[in-house]
Amino acid sequence: MSIWPAVEPLLGRVQKPARYIGGEDGMVVPTHSASKVAWLLVYPDAYEVGLPNQGLQILYEILNERPDALAERAYAPWLDMEQQMRANGVPLFSVDGHQPASAFDLVAFNLSAELVYTNLLNCIDLAGVPVRSADRRPEHPLIAAGGHCTFNPEPVADFVDFFVIGDGEEVVAEITEVIGAWKRSGKTEGSREHVLHELAKVPGVYVPAMYDVEYEGAALKGVTPRYPDVPAVVEKRTIADLGAWPYPKSQLVPLTEVVHDRLNVEIFRGCTRGCRFCQAGMITRPVRERPAAQVRQMVSDGLERTGYDEVSLTSLSSADYSGIDDVVKGIIDDPACSGQVGVSLPSLRVDAFTVGIAAEIQRVRRTGLTFAPEGGTWRLRKVISKLIREDDLYGAVESAFSQGWQRVKLYFLIGLPTETMEDVEGIAELARNCASLGRTHTKKVSVTASVGGFVPKPQTPFQWFGQDTVSSLKSKVNRLRDVTKKDRGVNLRWHDPQATLAEGIASRGDRRIGTVIEDVWRSGGTFQEWGEFFDLSRWEGAMERAGLSIDWYVHRDREESEILPWDHISAGLHKDFLWGDWQDALAEAGTEDCRWTPCYDCGACTGFGIEHVVASNIPPAGGSQGTGQDLSTGGSVPVKLLTKVGGR
Amino acid sequence: MNASTLGVQQPGVAPRVARFRYTKLGKIRFTSHRDVGRMWERALRKVALAVAYTSGFSPRPRIAFGFALPTGAESLAEYVDIGLALDRSHELSDIPSRLTPALPEGLEVTGGVIMDAGSPALQAAVTCSTWELNPISLAAGRPSPAAPDRGAPPTLAMLAERLDQFMSSRTFEIEVERKGTSVPTDIRPGVLAAALNDDGVITCDLSAKGTRPGDFLRALGADPLEARILRTQQWIDHQGGRAEPLAPGAYFAPPGLTEIFREEPIDVRSEPVPAFAAAPPPARHAGRT
């Protein structure tokens, strides 16, 4: 039953009440029934951050298309709304039909950043469910989680009944069937253990309660299954063909302002650039491109349906899509798009060719361009395998300024392995040189160097690396401030090094970190992604109360032989491949993009019997970085990985 | 529509503006005035209306709204003026019926006319609005669950007494929030008429730039956050009386064009209305004017 009558009187008393009303174009208000497994899909951050999430929207549609399932959505209520809800006994509710969380069989969270973990606990609590799995009873909805963070599920393993590792498109069907059987059985006393055991047999599903964790002093000794039919290692799920999943078909159009407020079409999943700091690039392999014809269809249908005048072609590195220029020109020249459609490519590659595409698609609004060299010197960029030469960057920037852009933003990381102050100062030098290039074209040049602290992530070659300390990161930021102070046109921005530390605690923690997360949440530490609410002292205090060492969890280099908390979760990457790549990093040797060069057997393709799928066998012109080849003009290369060519 | 014609007047063709009336009812009342602006922009693209764009580096569609409806308030009478790129008015007769499905639920287009572009803008022409304020509907006579410390909302008798007191005063000063600061303000002149019915609904006319409905409710000792606020009419001065902004004669109409548009069913409120004194509905406590 809808609890809208209880929600409505609260909305006059909160900021941005439109966060809680639903009503988006594309919304479904499903009818609950005994024969349908009810999913509540939750993004545990503010509505305006969570609404655009494509993963959640994809599953929302897939589940609502099934006759045996339904899905609604919820987002973390902002602090003022939470206060009103708690004072008036209003539980977490869906924005679609304003159903209370208790009306659902499972509450499934999207975890795409570690600092939302305290919001996860808050939402479970607001749902009226005990925050620890062990305290739950059959009448409570199951608590599930998916998303990139689940590649190390251990820090939140005590709070989540089951995790889904990898792509969700297919596995949600299998989960629905298991939970449907549980629902039909009447969810009797003691049945919760049984349904979790059944879920643990579904490939890609990890049920923490089915595993014993042993420690030897501070060290982890192992995470082992308690039953013979529960897998020792949970392998991620991967859909082989993105073209078979043209979702979302009806992207939600919000009534109020959100981030990424435009049509989003995913053009490929996975990335083979091999940047060693990038968890997304490691865990989403192999590359699966959407057929070009399908991309064009989704764009034109989506624009017509939504009324948006901007489309973003999303992926981890959109300029790497084979045939990107044809797709982009197709959109711009499509008469149905009226010549008024803006196209944006997130994660621009750093080269002049890419800027050429950008010039093509931003005929009207040339505001700013963003590049991500990540490291300040060529030596460091070889360490992280982000193989951008200075000439690539200067070529890109020169091209941008000469074509009318006035603002360029450069993303960098500090605290990378082997980094010296020389590498840090290299950031300032690159920014300074870019500004000088700009001044030959425009007086109003602005180059912003945006600097973030590096957090080593699980399932990457840098998972063994000891994270930089807050004081060291601060001194690097201070040096950058000093050396850029007198540079005209150069602006410096940096991420709070204290938030970097908290993210480090949550990223590579084991199950013992759950106590810390619960402590931070109980002390009121929600919305930790938001600078105004983040407070490191909560995290430091919680670590101390739990008797856990920040140094041991965050700043310590790991040994090759060490059992890592996520060793029983597999993204397909062989651990010896990752270790070898870590050693190559220390030897300052980059890795090539394996889409256009022979396979180096990371394990992602071979382990799952799948391959890269590209829309065209011609690599994108200018895509030289990482391949060691001259691809400046495009042209065919010997690729044996291609299994599918062209549209479906 | 293509880029070359946007924001450019066609030679020899008088510029035109379409004025629509629409509702804002139900859950969507919690969206802001700016949100509604974006909904209209998307809807106009969906129905492919030939909208004029501003010229310059970052062209925007020529859309002008009337006075903002407060977030949380509902309305039967919102208005928007939309510049048309081409003299394609003959294609516009089915636009109101096509616009409603293109807009979110709760926004319904209930009428429209074509005007010459020289007609006064809504924000210049609209002088006052009629509102229905229901200070007890949400709380239903109980202490508010959302704000238990505030105590019970006023009873009908209390409201009647306070309304009489307010309307018989020459001035009535309360603290009014303006840009984040409280300023003592006389809100009496902005209340042109007000009456209370047996259901506790206050029907009132508030001047456009004067008193806001929430401030009027506070002056009566009611909590605006607990009240239903509904705008039922907006008025422009017309021939010594007043008329709604779509009424014939209330704007400069291009000859021969409005008729096409008026073939669409237009709400009765588009008819000329009698002069002001007769406007408020029968009520127990008629206010002074």
- What are A374-407's pLDDT values in tens digits? 999 999 999 999 988 898 899 888 888 888 888 8
Of A13, A22, A308, which has the smallest distance from its Cβ to B225's Cβ? Answer: A13
A261 conformational bin, left if phi > 0, alpha if psi -120 to 50, beta if neither: beta
Tell me what the mean pLDDT of segment A450-470 comes to.
97
Query: So what's the pLDDT on residue B13?
Result: 52
Given a contact cutoff of 8 angstroms between Cβ atoms, the answer to whether A256 and A577 are in contact is no
Tell me what the mean pLDDT of segment B49-59 comes to.
78
Of A4, A88, A253, which has the smallest distance from its Cβ to B145's Cβ? Answer: A88
Minimum CA–CA partner of B144 in chain A: A9
Residue A478 has pLDDT above 60, yes or no: yes
Burial class (CB in 10 A: 0-12, 13-18, 19+), B256: exposed
Residues of B in contact with A253 (CB under 8 A): 42
Cβ contact A9–B105 (<8 Å): no
Helix pair angle (A352-361, A324-333), 10° resolution? 10
Interface test with B, best of A14, A27, A29, A255 (most B CBs within 10 A): A255
Residues of A in contact with B39 (CB under 8 A): 255
Residues of B in contact with A365 (CB under 8 A): 57-58
Tell me what the mean pLDDT of segment A342-348 comes to.
77
A540 compared with B222, residue with greater pLDDT: A540
Cβ contact B42–A9 (<8 Å): no
Q: Cα–Cα distance between A469 and A460 in angstroms, integer?
A: 20
Cβ contact B42–A255 (<8 Å): no
Tell me what the mean pLDDT of segment A312-338 comes to.
82
Instruction: Count CB neighbours of A617 within 10 A.
Output: 17
CA B130 to chain centre: 9
Cβ-based contacts under 8 A for chains A and B: 86
Residues of A in contact with B104 (CB under 8 A): 23, 25, 255
Tell me what the mean pLDDT of segment A279-308 comes to.
94
Residues of B in contact with A13 (CB under 8 A): 146-147, 225
A365 compared with A471, residue with greater pLDDT: A471
Using a CB–CB cutoff of 8 Å, tell me whether A9 touches chain B.
yes
Of B30, B42, B147, which has the smallest distance from its Cβ to A307's Cβ? Answer: B42
Using a CB–CB cutoff of 8 Å, tell me whether A633 touches chain B.
no
Query: So what's the pLDDT on residue B260?
Result: 40
Cβ contact B146–A339 (<8 Å): no
Query: So what's the pLDDT on residue A406?
Result: 87
Top-ranked range on mean pLDDT: pick from A44-58, A595-609, B194-208, B275-289:
A44-58
Of B35, B44, B105, which has the smallest distance from its Cβ to A257's Cβ? Answer: B35
Residues of B in contact with A340 (CB under 8 A): 1, 3, 6, 45
ipTM above 0.85, yes or no: yes
Alpha carbon separation from A369 to A345, A349, A396, A413 (Å, rounded): 10, 11, 10, 18
Q: Cα–Cα distance between B93 and A143 in angstroms, integer?
A: 53
Cβ contact B32–A12 (<8 Å): no
- C-alpha dihedral, A449 to A455 to A461 to A466, nearest 10°: 120
Please list the alpha-helical segments (H only) found in A201-290. Answer: 279-283
Q: Cα–Cα distance between A111 and A131 in angstroms, integer?
A: 16
Q: What pTM did the predictor assign? A: 0.91
Query: Minimal Cα–Cα distance from A306 to chain B, Å?
Result: 7
Query: So what's the pLDDT on residue A280?
Result: 95
CB contacts under 8 A, A 17-76 vs B, are 17-18, 20-23, 25
Sign of CA dihedral B277, B279, B282, B286: negative
Please, which pLDDT band fits residue A291 given cuts at 50, 70 and 90? very high
A141 compared with A371, residue with greater pLDDT: A141
Range from A187-196, A351-360, A403-412, A480-489 carrying the lowest mean pLDDT: A351-360
Residues of A in contact with B2 (CB under 8 A): 338-339
Cβ contact A304–B1 (<8 Å): no
Tell me what the mean pLDDT of segment A135-159 comes to.
97
**To which residue do tokens 């012109």 refer?**
A621
Query: So what's the pLDDT on residue B267?
Result: 39
Of A23, A307, A339, which has the smallest distance from its Cβ to B3's Cβ? Answer: A339
Q: Cα–Cα distance between B207 and B216 in angstroms, integer?
A: 12
pLDDT tens by residue, B134-192: 986 544 444 445 555 555 667 888 899 999 999 999 999 999 988 889 999 999 999 99
Using a CB–CB cutoff of 8 Å, tell me whether A336 touches chain B.
no
Helix pair angle (A54-65, A171-184), 10° resolution? 50
Phi first, then psi, for residue B163 (nearest 5°) are -65, -45
Interface test with B, best of A7, A25, A257, A364 (most B CBs within 10 A): A25
Residue B270 has pLDDT above 70, yes or no: no
**Count of CA atoms in the C-beta half-sphere (13 A) of A27:** 20
**What is the pLDDT of chain A when averaged over all its residues?**
91
